[in-house]
Structure formats: C-alpha cells, structure tokens
C-alpha cells in the first residue's frame, strides 16, 4: 500500500463520518456498520476488489450491515465473516463458489443468518459437500473432499479458535487478522470495545494505520518502536500486515 492508496482508503472513512449509521438503543455494537469497504479490506489484508465482490457483486457471498444509496458500511460481524472466507480461500484453498452455494442452502434451511460465525462450523450438515467425517483410532476427523483429501478441517477449526475470541454465547468479540496460518504471532487485532473497532496494535490502543502512516512519512521501524516504547519486531510485523502481497 503506497501513500496515495493509504490516504484514499483511510481518508475516505474520515471524510464521511456524518453518513455512518448510529448505534440504536439495545443494538449490539458488533452489528453496527462502521467500516468502509476499502478500510475493512486493508484491515484484514484482502484485495479491495475482492471485498467489493463479496458484498456488492452480482454473485455476492455476504450482505453489508448498512447500505443507503452510495454509503456502504460493514459491521464487525461482516468483517469477521469476510476474514473467515479469506482464510478458507487463501490458506486452505476453498472455492468461494462452493462456499457461496453452501451458505445459500444453510440460510434457506435454517434460522442462521451468519453461519460462518458459528463456533461449530465443522459439524454443520450443509458443509458436508466440502468435508467428510470419519474416525481414526477413535477420533473424529474432518477432511476436505474437494481438494483430494489434503485439508484436515479440524486444523482450520483449531486455527480459527486462536484467531477469533468469543463471548459466552460463542459470538466473536475480537479477531486477529494479522496472523499467518502457521504462526502464533498476532501483531494486530480488532475489537469493537477498543478504539471503536479499528485495527490496533495488539494489547494497545494504538491504531495500526497510524503506525503505517509514520512509516510512509519516512520513519524507520526502529524509530517508531522507540517513540511508542514497543518491541521493534512487533512494529515490523504491523508494517508487514499492510505491505503483504494480496492474493
């Protein structure tokens, strides 16, 4: 992400606060539309065009929490669903078309409007066209049958458990979109109760975009780390989150 792109993405959000929906009485703040599509795409490291296709394309997979004329804002739950789809697509090779079909069947046959947010995703019957269950030495294993049996679905479920914190009802309350599939490092996180859900440096209230803005202005990772009294490797990982190549 270069300086021009950065200003377009995050300048857009700053320029339209009056258009953003307001939290209604009794509404779960996780359902409130507050992220622009460019901003959400940058936060979870998804190509903006891909994110638009998922929420606005002719064959969209998801529906934005708020859409009025040209104003479109995604909720924390929207972004979490997109993050899960991105993980399935990028790290585990799932075909979005098959996911779209499975989600459509699930929504029409059950009361679940956000099936991807369910903690027990691996045992939802409508996903059995993607996975098969069998036993090995007394242990149930879920294997992706759409990719020559290469994916052990349990691995996905275990990884998501580390990348998504949930409340007592099993609903997401925090996500760590900066983590790689095979890494326990979580340099950035999103929590509706921290900085209104903006992407922040994990464990702080420092917006990750602010860190990257300083890098674009010419500061080194070492200088940024020293100014915030943070670990230099952590700052480097935050910067890499914005610079990673989009699939």
**Lowest-pLDDT range of 35-44, 84-93, 132-141, 213-222:** 132-141
Instruction: State which of 9-23, 92-106, 162-176 shows the largest mean pLDDT.
Output: 162-176
Q: Provide the β-strand partners of residue 31.
A: none
**How many residues in total does the chain contain?**
247
pLDDT at 167 over 90: yes
Q: Which pLDDT belongs to residue 127?
A: 53
- Identify whether the C-beta of residue 165 lies closer than 8 Å to the C-beta of residue 172: yes
Q: Which pLDDT belongs to residue 159?
A: 78
* pLDDT mean across residues, the chain: 80
Specify the DSSP element, H or E, that contains 210: helix 208-216
Taking the C-alpha atoms of 134, 136, 142 and 147 in order, what is their torsion angle to the nearest 10 degrees?
-90
Measured at the alpha carbon of residue 61, what is the angle toward residues 18 and 68, in degrees to the nearest 5?
25
At residue 56, the 3 state secondary structure works out as: helix
Q: Provide the β-strand partners of residue 175.
A: 164, 190
Number of domains composing the chain: 1
Domain that holds residue 173: 3-243
Strand pairing report for 199-201 and 71-73: unpaired
Structure tokens at 74: 């995604």
- Identify whether the C-beta of residue 199 lies closer than 8 Å to the C-beta of residue 43: yes
């Amino acid at each position: 992400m270069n300086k021009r792109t950065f200003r377009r993405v995050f300048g857009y959000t700053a320029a339209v606060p009056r258009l953003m929906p307001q939290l209604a009485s009794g509404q779960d703040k996780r359902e409130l539309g507050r992220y622009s599509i460019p901003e959400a795409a940058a936060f979870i490291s998804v190509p903006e065009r891909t994110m638009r296709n998922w929420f606005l394309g002719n064959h969209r997979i998801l529906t934005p929490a708020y859409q009025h004329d040209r104003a479109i804002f995604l909720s924390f739950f929207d972004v979490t669903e997109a993050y899960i789809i991105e993980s399935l697509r990028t790290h585990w090779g799932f075909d979005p078309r098959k996911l779209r079909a499975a989600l459509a069947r699930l929504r029409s046959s059950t009361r679940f409007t956000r099936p991807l947010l369910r903690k027990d995703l691996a045992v939802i019957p409508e996903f059995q066209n993607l996975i098969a269950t069998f036993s090995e030495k007394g242990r149930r294993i879920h294997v992706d049958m759409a990719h020559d049996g290469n994916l052990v679905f349990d691995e996905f479920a275990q990884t998501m458990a580390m990348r998504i914190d949930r409340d007592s009802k099993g609903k997401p309350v925090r996500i760590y979109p900066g983590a790689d599939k095979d890494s326990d490092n979580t340099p950035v996180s999103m929590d509706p109760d921290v900085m209104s859900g903006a992407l922040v440096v994990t464990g702080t209230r420092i917006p990750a975009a602010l860190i990257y803005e300083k890098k674009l202005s010419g500061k080194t990772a070492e200088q940024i780390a020293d100014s915030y009294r943070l670990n230099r490797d952590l700052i480097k990982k935050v910067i890499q989150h914005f610079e990673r190549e989009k699939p």
